[in-house]
Structure 1
Amino acid sequence: MTRFLGVDLAWAEGSASKPAKESGLACIDESGRVIDAGWARGTDAVMRWIDSLWEPGAVLAVDAPLVVDNLTGMRLCERETGSRYGSWYVSANASNLGRPWQGGVAIRRRLEASGWTYTDGLTPIDPATPRFFECYPYTTLVGAAEFGYLDKRPRYKRMGTSLPPDERREARAVVCDDLIQRIWRLTRASPPLDLGSHPVSDALVTEPSPLVDRPYKHREDLIDALLCAWTASLWWHGGTDRCQVLGARDDVAVLGRRPTIIAPARPEQRRTVEGARLVTAPGTSAP
């Protein structure tokens, strides 16, 4: 049964004087069972976790810029995130070689050295080959109808400054608990995700979201990792019937790799791209 891994990667690699922030980790299978879930700190620890769950045909979705070769500005996939999902209050941060955080690039290199293949979502890959791609959880939340966010993304990360800090944290926790209930309902979705199948993910449901910033961020990272893993499953099951490839028109960049984001999408979030190919769901592709 195929495994789907999700990593909400801390973009900065950290150093001896300043350790990396936590990365959220999650792995599910085709039935939606959560095989493992938790956190790791630093590229080495993230890679050890990924290696422990490696299997032929595994699919890994990473929330971090993986292919970056532009000196300044934004990558095309990031600009298209804003143009196609902006009406749902979703946009992307700019990634370029001038930015100090390159954790995604580092993890891509480590993954490729370990036998994983980067996919831009456009070129078919042998089903037995473990592959990984870049994703963005906000596009999953507004692009997959299962979550029910029809007009805008949930504000479970930053609530803005219109409320006093204490009220802001309370409002954030309410939004987060509502999001968790929506994820919980994926038990009956296709593809499924069963939060109750692992004690770490089950705690998201059985325990209220904390108000204190650090434990709240701990929870947020796990939520995003689970969304990444479910996005990997959605792409494997549905291909471009359920997802679109942002940055598909971009030039091939680093050593033949194209910087793209594979993003769940509803019809109104798509654009017709001349010459773009429809991608068969990887899970249904013939060997």
Structure 2
Amino acid sequence: MICIGLDLAWSPRNPSGIATLQVIGDPDLARLTGILIDCRILQTNTEILDYIQTQAGRDPCLLAVDAPLRVPNRTGQRRAEAELNRVFRAYEAGAHPANRQLLEKNGQVRGEELVQALSSCGFQEQAEIQQGSFARQITEVFPHSAMVSLFGLHCTLKYKARPKRTWQERQQAWQLYRQHLQSLTTADPALSGHEGLLQVEVGSLKGRSLKNYEDQVDALMCAYIALYGFRWGSERCHSFGSLQEGHIFTPLPIGLREQMNTTSRKNLG
């Protein structure tokens, strides 16, 4: 079983981070570990497709992508962003709007191209990752909402470059981000093999080197979301939007998870 995380740049002019976890554990899913076996930066669609095919082979593979995979709307935002933002805006973890006016290049959205190309390799686009499903599928995910949920954060970590955000603030956020990623070694499911990635001295990185490192760490986060979905499915995760209109799959905070489960039970009743 392989989990691949892809922090996909909206344009092939920019590099993308990609990370692969080899999943080991009991058939009953009670003790799962994702071992980081590769993490790198890729540029073109061809490089990304070749990498995925090489890593996945003919095995079951969950590919979790941080980028819009289905964008039917010309303007505005998808239902997936609207629904996720209603839940996660309070944590400052809302998603940017996705529409074809922003994303379409030469009549194509990059995420949609990826889905279409991988279909010939047996990958199917799915709106959610089901518990224990040994599938070959590609699903859109969102690291910021996942971090809030998995790490118990009150708001997102401010490690990305933004106007008026100081380098000192970003370094402090990086320290917290890496501490939380290290804590996943004892989580359920567990993560290992990423110690070397976390030992990189962020303060020594600048410009493209820093952005590449950011993309690789975020790709690792995407791969862990896939592993977490495989372990827990809808019990602890939720897919916003729909397969037809665009979707975002993410773990949920504990309190919100209980609230949504209660609402779902009432609706069924």
Deviation digits for residues 237-280 of structure 1, max 9, x if unmatched? 100112111114xxx63xxxx52111110244354469989xxx
Distance in 2, Cα, partners of 1:276 & 1:210: 53
**Offset at residue 185 of structure 1 (A):** 1.5
Change (3 A) 1:186 1:6: same
- Runs of 4 or more above 6 Å deviation: 274-277
Pair 1:114-2:115 in alignment: no
**Offset at residue 209 of structure 1 (A):** 4.1
Distance in 2, Cα, partners of 1:33 & 1:276: 39
| Aligned counterpart for 2:86 among listed residues 83, 87, 93 | 83
Change (3 A) 1:125 1:105: farther
Are the equivalent residues in 2 in contact too, given 1:4–1:58 (CA < 8 A)?
yes
Secondary structure of the structure 2 residue equivalent to 1:95: coil
For 2:52, the equivalent position in structure 1 comes to 50
Distance in 2, Cα, partners of 1:273 & 1:69: 27
Secondary structure of the structure 2 residue equivalent to 1:269: helix
The aligned runs of 1:5-154 (5 Å cut-off) are 5-13=4-12, 20-30=13-23, 31-54=33-56, 55-101=58-104, 102-121=109-128, 127-144=133-150, 147-149=151-153, 151-154=154-157
Change (3 A) 1:241 1:210: farther
Distance in 2, Cα, partners of 1:6 & 1:234: 12
Deviation digits for residues 180-219 of structure 1, max 9, x if unmatched? 12101111111111144xxxx6133243344523221111
**Offset at residue 113 of structure 1 (A):** 2.4
Q: Which is richer in strand?
A: 2
CA-based RMSD: 2.4
Pair 1:269-2:218 in alignment: no
Are the equivalent residues in 2 in contact too, given 1:37–1:222 (CA < 8 A)?
yes
Are the equivalent residues in 1 in contact too, given 2:66–2:222 (CA < 8 A)?
yes
Change (3 A) 1:246 1:107: same
Deviates more, 1:55-64 or 1:2-11: 55-64
For 1:220, the equivalent position in structure 2 comes to 214
Structure 2 residue ranges without an equivalent (≥5): 24-32
Are the equivalent residues in 2 in contact too, given 1:143–1:269 (CA < 8 A)?
no
Q: Give the TM-score normalised by the residue count of structure 2.
A: 0.85
For 2:201, the equivalent position in structure 1 comes to 207
Distance in 1, Cα, partners of 2:182 & 2:115: 31
Count how many residue pairs are aligned between Structure 1 and Structure 2.
250
1:226 aligned partner, one-letter code: L
